Amino acid sequence: MEKDIHKKIVVIGGGNAGCLTALHYGWHSRKNDAISVELIYNPDVKPEPVGQATLVDPPALLYATTRTNWMNNPIHATMKSGILYEGWGKKQDVITNPFPMDRMGMHYCPCEMQELVLKTGLFKVTEGDVDPKDIDADLVFDCRGTPDDISPQNGYRELVNPTNAAILAKPNWNTLECTYSRHVATPDGWTFIIPTHPESPSYEYSVGYCYNSNITSKEDAEKNFLDQFDVEITQHKEYKSYISTKPVDDDGRIFLNGNRLCFLEPLESTGAQIYMDWASVVGESVFLKKNSIEEGVSSLKGYIYQIERYIHWHYQFGSKYDTPFWDYAKSLKLTNYEPNFDKVARWSDETSWDDVMVPEYGGMANIKYGQWSPISFKYWMEGVGYKPPAKTDLSKLWIPQGGEGLDLTGKEVHGDDNSFWKP
Ligand SMILES: Cc1cc2nc3c(=O)[nH]c(=O)nc-3n(C[C@H](O)[C@H](O)[C@H](O)COP(=O)(O)OP(=O)(O)OC[C@H]3O[C@@H](n4cnc5c(N)ncnc54)[C@H](O)[C@@H]3O)c2cc1C
């Protein structure tokens, strides 16, 4: 960060988003007295207790800022080596989406993370219930959790997704046997099984039956859940997938993050990574002047629409079940045509495994779509037996920057034909 800028940054909220945002700024400004960071949260409103699975960046940030590691692990984090899809598509029983062997995501409880992060000393912590508009600071991150109203009038747009409810439960078996998140297809949707330490407060919510309450009644979903899994039900949850159409106010001062900014169902565990990426892009705009705030917002929206599309794509191959839920999921259409998806899919298909892995030995190649490298595309396409159409023009393949914040060239292209990439 630039040394000569005096800035006061206030983060409101102590959930996943608030903690990761404050950690990001506290860490990057730790040697710069001209920048102050404060987190204000209401201790009476607990963070969302589900939301435990991450990609590889959040554990790296926690390691740097709190020295949490697999041997010093006060948050009962468990290793996440990738996602195992069970019963998705028609070709294989299981499809893997692994991380490279030298990188780990994690599963953890946001409430335990809050306790740890608030003690780091990297930023000031204040208890209180505040309105972002009343905060006297140069930069405010509004991480107050799910908004009451996600209507267009309130500045939100719904994203396309077939699920809208989850039944959360405590497993009656040892989920620590594996190091990956299990995503199991069911007749009514799919179920996540997160390897969780029994002492973690998230244990009670570590198995989640995601379904659509307009297709399956709560009672039927409960019965089907209990028939298929050995669990004790602890909570019912309704949700919608959405994005804020106005992630920053007109003064360029108040930025939304976390559930205030967007919500996407947890199929690819994208939440924590979005919050970190967005915090980083805002910092690059405000402090490093790498891009304008408008460009940052445009890049964020493109990135979230890519995540919406990538998740949507998974449902298009159905599952081993031919049921009303899966018929509905397959029938859902996205309204924006976004050509980069097809290009990355085709490039991944035409490039050998060796060349997709190189040069970073299985790391994230410099081509990225949303949060995914071509390796993830390749695993999924092989798993479901999908070949991207040959008509895609690879000569204009979009090469994002990868790794360093969000890609500014990932703009949305409007149109209505997205049928070509359906199986
Ligand atoms: C079924 C399900 C599964 C999920 N799985 C995953 C997953 O695997 N990975 C993932 O990354 N995400 C997942 N999520 C999403 C995850 O739960 C949320 O994205 C995440 O918890 C976002 O939290 P947040 O910080 O935005 O809000 P919250 O956790 O709700 O925190 C809000 C904070 O704001 C504070 N606050 C509220 N109002 C005020 C005020 N006026 N003044 C001061 N403080 C205030 C509260 O005290 C609290 O600290 C899942 C969600 C669901 C429903």
- Among protein residues, the one whose CA lies closest to atom 21 of ligand 1: 48
Mind listing the pLDDT tens digit for each residue in 103-134?
899 999 999 999 999 999 999 999 999 999 99
* Confidence check: pLDDT of 397 > 60: no
Ligand 1 pocket test, candidate residues 10, 41, 275, most atoms within 8 A of CB: 41
Atom 4 in ligand 1: which residue has the minimum CA distance? 51
pLDDT value of residue 418: 29
Tell me which of 10, 16, 108, 267 to substitute to probe ligand 1's pocket, judged by most ligand atoms within 8 Å of the beta carbon: 16
Query: Does the pLDDT of residue 74 top 90, yes or no?
Result: yes
Residues 90-114: what's their mean pLDDT? 93
Q: What is the pLDDT of residue 220?
A: 98
Q: Is the pLDDT of residue 289 over 60?
A: yes
Q: Which atom of ligand 1 is nearest to the CA of 259?
A: 26
Q: Give domain limits for the chain.
A: 8-78+107-160+241-306, 79-106+162-239
Q: Which residue has the higher pLDDT, 143 or 407?
A: 143
Task: Give the pLDDT score at 199.
Answer: 94
Report the alpha-carbon distance of residue 349 to residue 243 in Å, rounded: 31
Above pLDDT 90, what percent of the chain? 71
What's the gap in Å between 174 CA and the centre of ligand 1? 26
The pLDDT of residue 352 is: 87
pLDDT of residue 132: 98
> Lowest mean pLDDT: which of 143-147, 203-207, 312-316, 348-352?
348-352
Quote the pLDDT of residue 365.
Answer: 53
What per-residue confidence (pLDDT) applies to 20?
97
Question: Whose alpha carbon is nearest atom 38 of ligand 1?
Answer: 144
Query: pLDDT at position 407, please?
Result: 38
In the reported structure, the alpha carbon of residue 337 is separated from the centroid of ligand 1 by a whole-number distance in angstroms of 30
Q: How far apart are CA 423 and CA 363, in angstroms?
A: 28
Q: How confident is the model at residue 4 (pLDDT cuts 50, 70, 90)?
A: low
Specify the pLDDT at position 216. Answer: 98
Closest residue to atom 16 of ligand 1, CA basis: 51
Q: Taking 80 as the threshold, does the pLDDT of residue 6 lie above it?
A: no
CA of 148 to the centre of ligand 1 (A): 13
Which residue of 20, 44, 50 sits with most ligand 1 atoms within 8 Å of its CB, as the best mutation to test the pocket?
50
Report the pLDDT value the prediction gives residue 361, as an integer from 0 to 100. 52
CATH class of 79-106+162-239: alpha beta
Nearest ligand 1 atom to the CA of 19 is: 25
For residue 16, report the distance from its CA to the centre of ligand 1, in Å.
6
Q: What is the pLDDT of residue 303?
A: 86
Give the mean model confidence (pLDDT) for residues 293-298.
87
Atom of ligand 1 nearest to the CA of 43: 47
The CATH H-level superfamily of 8-78+107-160+241-306 is FAD/NAD(P)-binding domain (3.50.50.60)
Output the CA 144–ligand 1 centroid distance in Å: 8
pLDDT of residue 374: 85
170 and 232 Cβ atoms separated by less than 8 Å: yes
Question: What's the pLDDT at 400?
Answer: 40
The tens digit of pLDDT for each residue in 188-239 reads: 999 999 999 999 999 999 999 999 999 999 999 999 999 999 999 999 999 9
At 178-189, the pLDDT tens digits run: 999 999 999 999
Q: Nearest C-alpha to atom 39 of ligand 1 is from which residue?
A: 144
- CA of 258 from ligand 1 middle (Å) equals 7
Give pTM, 2 decimals. 0.92
Average pLDDT of the chain, as a whole number? 88
Cα(169) to ligand 1 centroid in Å equals 18
Distance 141 CA to ligand 1 centre (A): 14
- Choose the residue to mutate in 11, 42, 134 for probing ligand 1, maximizing ligand atoms within 8 Å of C-beta: 42
Q: What's the gap in Å between 399 CA and the centre of ligand 1?
A: 32
Residues within 6 Å of ligand 1 by CB: 12-18, 40-42, 45, 47-48, 50-54, 110, 129-130, 143-145, 166, 208, 237, 239, 258-259, 266, 269, 271-272
Output the pLDDT for position 360.
Answer: 52
Q: How far is the CA of 255 from the centre of ligand 1 (A)?
A: 16
Atom index in ligand 1 nearest the CA of residue 17 equals 25
Residue that wins the pLDDT comparison between 358 and 331: 331
User: Which of the four pLDDT bands, split at 50, 70 and 90, describes residue 416?
Assistant: very low
Determine the distance separating the centroid of ligand 1 and the alpha carbon of 356, expressed in angstroms.
35
